[in-house]
A and B are shown apart, each in its own frame.
Chain A
Amino acid sequence: MAKSTSSDAQMLVRSLHTAYAATPTNLKIIDLYVVYAIVTAVIQVVYMGIVGSFPFNSFLSGVLSCVGTAVLAVCLRIQVNKENKEFKDLPPERAYADFVLCNLVLHLVVMNFLG
């Protein structure tokens, strides 16, 4: 039984891997960007846990910039994904332009709150 469970898990991971390899390149670039942003956010939270929350506004603005840009990238991925029927009529350039503008506003807010 245990041998079949571990081989089941291996088969699951392998099938996920092959399915993921089939996604288009631009979506993979977006995924990489999201992973980078979330990892940066987690590093900041761990640092705050060690050192304490003294300039709390700086902590919040650092975490907000990482999480906010990750959320905007996820929105971009949803709108650009060709398999998504809901956004069939939305031109990908429009989605990308929204992404850029929102990121500009986000980083403006972050610079002000950083202190």
Chain B
Amino acid sequence: MARLAAIFLAVIFLFPVLCLSFSADNPTDRRLLVLVDDLAVRSSHSVFFKSLQTRGFDLDFKLADDPKLSLQRYGQYLYDGLIVFSPSIQRFGGSLDQNAVLEFVDAGHDLILAADSSASDLIRGIATECGVDFDEDSAAMVIDHTSYAVSEMEGDHTLITSDDLVQSDVILGDRKIEAPILFRGIGHSVNPANSLVLKVLSASPSAYSANPKSKLSSPPSLTGSAISLVSIVQARNNARILISGSLDLFSNRFLRSGVQKAGSSTKYEKSGNEQFVTEISKWVFHERGHLKAVNVRHHKVGETTEPAMYRINDDLDYSVEIYEWSGTSWKPYVADDVQVQFYMMSPYVLKTLSHDQKGLYSTSFKVPDVYGVFQFKVEYQRLGYTSLSLSKQIPVRPFRHNEYERFITTAYPYYGASFSTMAAFFIFSIVYLYHK
């Protein structure tokens, strides 16, 4: 009896938790699985994890080789996001492997992957599948002899600073990150032809990727600003991935320490790491830059119902509502560059939508003088925002035979010729009958 009551109470209390999970109406992730090499990471990176927990995430810490690891049960995913802070793991435990992680991302969930100089082939393989290639030399680290961080010990210049950030308020927040960011780890390169991957933090032009313990025998393959230290990937299903070459970037030591770049006299009390990891984790977990477009409506000017078909040379109105998720609620999205196309094999009409400040975008235009099956297409891809791809099909018919003007101006000569022939026939018959 007491057991029944306990189960009943447990279900009652779990119910609201189950309702808070990821859904289209509430796109912020809630439950995150954090995989670590050893549980000391949990305390050495506690500031980062605490900032996630205060924003409402439920973190579930597990060892990466825990034999009971699984992302899904009975076809349902147990977590909304994955943080892999276990760079040296050779094989995940339980039912997790590279394919399982990639399927998790393909299902629309987010991933933060941190590598290290001890990164295993498994971690490098996951990164390559996401579009980011770590240096092939497994002992290489990023070394910079002109932008290293000044410290009391004489180091090998693998602790470097960087302030080469991508310019995007959506990804990095509106406040500028003043202090440089500390980094120690491996570098990766990003294919410039890939439009889904972006370098967020690049190394300075004097950096290179090589083994710090041995002499350089040949020029390094990765040099300069082509080395990316932190990259993001926004997949076509709007899943977001953050790949960092350094696990120490997130650690308490780097978050709290001051920084001074070699060669400059400015000493910052606090590095830019804390602001950087907080803002970028907000972007990765869909607290910023997540758009939804609802309520696509079109109708003839002056009417309100949506017709099943338009006629050529009709005037019509098109409207759509676009909202942005602010972390807690949907706010109207404000931008001046959303465009709608009236498309059949190529856009016949391309118009920029104007908005009232409440997120309703609308415009009106005239249907072109071509008939066929058209689509209203809105294709909106901007850096850092989810991509919007709306399309609504509508047929356009030509004039019915009684919709032309009654007397066509260009046909007046033909009308005149027919009537003059009739008049000539009449005069001819009079003359023919009554001539002498």
Contact = CB atoms under 8 A, between A and B. Distances in A.
Interface of A: 25-26, 29-30, 33, 36-37, 40-41, 43-44, 47, 51, 54-55, 58-59, 61-63, 65-66, 69, 73, 96, 100, 103, 107, 110-111, 114-115
Given A61-B414, A62-B414, A115-B411, A40 B428 contact: no
The 6 residue pairs across chains A and B that have the minimum distance between CB atoms: A62-B414, A58-B411, A58-B414, A62-B417, A55-B411, A65-B418
B408 A54 contact: yes
Interface string B262-294: 000000000000000000000000000000000
Interface in B408-422: 408, 410-411, 413-415, 417-418, 420-422
Contacts of B410: 51, 54-55
Given A37-B424, A51-B410, A30 B415 contact: no
Question: Chain A contact residues: over half helix, strand or loop, or mixed?
Answer: helix
A51 B409 CA distance: 11
B432 interface: yes
A55 B413 CA distance: 11
Question: Chain B contact residues: over half helix, strand or loop, or mixed?
Answer: helix
B78 to A, nearest CB: 69
Contacts of B433: 96
Contacts of A65: 417-418, 421-422
A55 B425 contact: no
Given A55-B408, A58-B408, A43 B417 contact: yes
13 contacts: A37-B424, A40-B417, A43-B417, A54-B410, A55-B410, A58-B414, A61-B414, A62-B415, A63-B417, A65-B421, A96-B432, A114-B411, A114-B414
Contacts of A37: 421, 424
A71 to B, nearest CB: 12
Given A26-B432, A29-B432, A69 B421 contact: yes
A54 B412 CA distance: 12
B431 interface: yes
B436 to A, nearest CB: 8
B435 interface: yes
A40 B421 CA distance: 8
Interface residues of B, number: 19
Nearest to B408: A55
Contacts of B194: none
Contacts of B411: 54-55, 58-59, 114-115
B429 interface: yes
B118 to A, nearest CB: 78
A107 B413 contact: no
Contact of A59 (B414, B420, B428, B432): B414
Contacts of B418: 61-62, 65, 107, 110-111, 114
A58 B415 contact: yes
Given A25-B435, A26-B435, A58-B408, A33 B428 contact: yes
B413 A62 contact: yes
A103 B435 CA distance: 21
A62 B273 CA distance: 85
Contacts of A110: 418
A107 B433 CA distance: 20
Contacts of B414: 44, 55, 58-59, 61-62, 114
A26 B429 CA distance: 11
Contacts of A61: 414, 418
Given A55-B408, A62-B418, A100-B429, A47 B424 contact: no
A111 B418 CA distance: 8
A25 B432 CA distance: 9
